[in-house]
Structure 1
Amino acid sequence: MAGVSLRFVLDPDLTPRLRDEIVDLWADVSNAGGAVGFVPPVTAADVRVIADPTFAGIADGPDRLLVGYTGDRLAAMLIFADNRFPLKAHWCVLKRVMVHPDAQGTGCGAALMAEATRLGREFGHEALHVTVRDGLGLDKFYGRLGYREIGRLPGALRVAPDDDRDEILMWLDLTQAD
């Protein structure tokens, strides 16, 4: 799938079909070792416990969903999560950043993040924030995209007994030229 391009849709209608596709993507990413709130093995039922309140934040606002398709297949997604606090309204958290395992390594992740950057500026945000699990090289991926590490929560993520990982805080200043 090298060189795959994505067709992006912002704020799609959260139909039952799209909800199921997101849950399936989330489970596939998790089971491939992706750091999106779970460790493998995970089932769709496990994911749905977190997905349903996430969908409510999108459907009822104020969060926004960005999805990326290869053809008719959901291949990537992320959520612009509102800070729900007026003193933080000038920046946004990106959550549940996912690319299907079959599409990883094809540029889809970079394309998804480029679209998030474009939209973040369009929304009037001055910065984007994302947290990543240490030990997976995600900080290097985001670093190549212009994000910088602004802090760590040591051992904040327990992925298994005796396997605690740092949560790395990454920041992209949108007021700077590319």
Structure 2
Amino acid sequence: MTTTITRLAAPALTAHRGELAALLVDIVAAGASLGFLAGLDHEEAAAWWDTLLPSVEEGSLALWAARGADGRLEGTVSWYRESKPNGRHRAELRKLMVHPAARGRGTARALLAEAERAAALAGIVLLFLDTETGSGAEHVYRSAGWTEAGTIPDYATDPSGILRPTTLFYKHPKHPKQAGHPGHPGHTG
């Protein structure tokens, strides 16, 4: 698997608006619970990406895109850093999404690892998220070392309109100098 992950600044978000919209439409059509209902059209999806532009420009929202060896957009992930003075140490992981045709190749894991690494480098010591209970995403988070904080019943509807529970997770990202690199405590390989 050759996946390239890049952080998208505002100009790239604007330039790739159509491609990002197509990704979101395909993922919702495949049944992923991302806050949208079945029948999401391209313009509605593109308009949603447009709403992220101010936060990306000001730096409170960090967004990454994964591309396969063929250059196709395979997925995205983002985190939103809290702006309140007592919460600037934390960020909410949002919209980890991988195109159905690209699943099972490690794309979600690679996006998640990049978001965690960047969070640690930005001084974020706590990441949190919610995901549909029982979804494939829940397995990805568990296997990546995220800790379950609890479940909320009837939290949101899935794309077909059925109420589903959500599971809350959190993780303390480790700065690259703290773990996983030779010569530093915690290195495993």
Secondary structure of residue in 2 paired with 1:110: helix
Matching of residues 104-119 of structure 1 within 5 Å? 104-119=103-118
Q: For residues 102 and 84 of structure 1, what CA distance do their matches in structure 2 show? A: 36
> Which moves more between the two structures, 38-47 or 97-106?
38-47
Structure 1 unaligned spans of 5+: none
Q: Name the structure 1 match of 2:23.
A: 25
Segments of 4+ moved more than 3 angstroms? 175-178
Structure 2 unaligned spans of 5+: 180-185
Q: For residues 151 and 48 of structure 1, what CA distance do their matches in structure 2 show? A: 33
> Could you give the per-residue CA deviations for residues 35-82 of structure 1, whole angstroms, max 9, x where no partner exists?
222232321123234222123321343211111111322111111212
Q: Name the structure 2 match of 1:91.
A: 90
Q: For residues 97 and 15 of structure 1, what CA distance do their matches in structure 2 show? A: 16
Q: Name the structure 1 match of 2:3.
A: 6
Bigger Rg, structure 1 or 2 = 2
Could you tell me how far 1:158 is from its partner in structure 2?
A: 2.3
Let me know the Cα RMSD of the aligned residues.
2.0
Are the aligned partners of 1:92 and 1:125 in contact in 2 as well (CA < 8 Å)?
yes
Could you tell me how far 1:170 is from its partner in structure 2?
A: 0.8
Are the aligned partners of 1:36 and 1:96 in contact in 2 as well (CA < 8 Å)?
yes
Q: For residues 53 and 10 of structure 1, what CA distance do their matches in structure 2 show? A: 17
Q: For residues 61 and 122 of structure 1, what CA distance do their matches in structure 2 show? A: 14
The TM-score normalised by the length of structure 2 is 0.82
